Amino acid sequence: MNNQSTISLDKLKSSKKKIVKSKRELKHTSIILKGFILPIFIVVLWEFTGILGLISDTLLPRPSVIFTTFIDLALTGELIGHFQISLLRAIGGFLLGGTLGLLVGLAVGFSQNIEQTVDPTLQMFRTIPTLAVIPLFILWFGFGEVSKILLIAKGAFFPLYVNTFLGIRGVDSKLFAVAKVLEFNRWKQITLLILPAALPNILLGLRLSLGVAWLALVAAELMGSSQGVGYLIMDARQFSNTSVVFVGIIIFAVFGKLSDSIVRVFERRLLKWQDNFQG
């Protein structure tokens, strides 16, 4: 009898878990669908205004025309070739700038001496607009891949640096009292206390850094480039091929959002231990 009661209780708990999981998935699907409402409305309105002739196809081609152009470029292989070049540039620049930003942010966050020595100079460089350094990069490194990757790295460096630094300095001092009670040594304080507490800021910096890397990629590909999605956009602009310009812009938007969503997935997994994390 007791065994039967225990089995029934387990089944009840399992059913409750399935119901909670189903409700959570339904809520998540509902949130995703809500996000599509406005874009679909804009696309439908855009298409109909174009069909009615209210907007010139030269200035603002209809979504159906842009889609046809996308298919044509994809079938010829031209779009894939340009995109591969752009993707490699974005990854290279982000890895270089993001890695340096994380390491320098950790060093400055853990040491006041390094902060006092390095941070004022970095803050000065941070305020220099990316477009302002393009002529200098061309003079120093020419029009090759080095100047483009360094320009993307410059953009990707600062979001990760600033957020890593702020995350480490923003650790609640009460946690150190707990660490003292638990007799944590310095290494355990860093790995079990400071870095996990700073992780939300570090992941936020990672998302911002990825976004800036895509923005900087466009500026980098304007520097005498002969390949890449940025070049495709500039070339199409010269020939007033607006639909190709839109294809390039949409590619940047889609893959920028995709890279951000990938980081959000890691964020949900790494921060689910936090009580106040809403994911």
pLDDT digits (tens, 9 = 90+) for 209-220: 988 888 888 888
List, for residues 147-173, the tens digit of each pLDDT value: 889 999 998 999 999 999 998 888 877
| pLDDT reported for residue 26 | 78
User: Which distant-in-sequence residues (6+ apart) come within 8 Å of 55 by Cβ?
Assistant: 46, 49
Confidence of residue 3 (pLDDT cuts 50, 70, 90): low
What pTM, to 2 d.p., does this model score? 0.77
Architecture of domain 63-271: Orthogonal Bundle (1.10)
Q: What is the mean pLDDT of residues 192-206?
A: 87
**Residue with more model confidence, 270 or 277:** 270
Q: Where are the domains of the chain?
A: 1-55, 63-271
Rounded to whole angstroms, the Cα distance separating 81 from 58 reads: 26
| pLDDT reported for residue 130 | 79
Helix, strand, coil percent content, the chain, rounded in steps of 5: 85, 0, 15
The closest of 131, 88, 82, 125 to 230, measured between CA atoms, is 82
Q: Does residue 264 carry a pLDDT above 90? A: no
| pLDDT reported for residue 263 | 84
| pLDDT reported for residue 5 | 64
List, for residues 8-20, the tens digit of each pLDDT value: 667 777 777 777 7
Q: What is the mean pLDDT of residues 172-188?
A: 76
Highest mean pLDDT: which of 73-77, 156-160, 255-259?
156-160
**Residue with more model confidence, 269 or 46:** 46
In sign, the C-alpha dihedral spanning 51, 55, 57, 61 is negative
Go through 162-172 and write b for each residue having 16 or more CB atoms within 10 A of its CB, e for each that does not.
bbbbbbbeebe
Q: Please, is 112 exposed, middle or buried when counting C-beta atoms within 10 Å of its C-beta (0-12, 13-18, 19+)?
A: exposed
The closest of 143, 138, 149, 199 to 171, measured between CA atoms, is 199
Q: Does residue 274 carry a pLDDT above 70? A: no
Q: What is the mean pLDDT of residues 123-149?
A: 86
Show the CA angle centred on residue 110, arms to residues 105 and 116, nearest 5°: 75
Q: Does residue 278 carry a pLDDT above 60? A: no
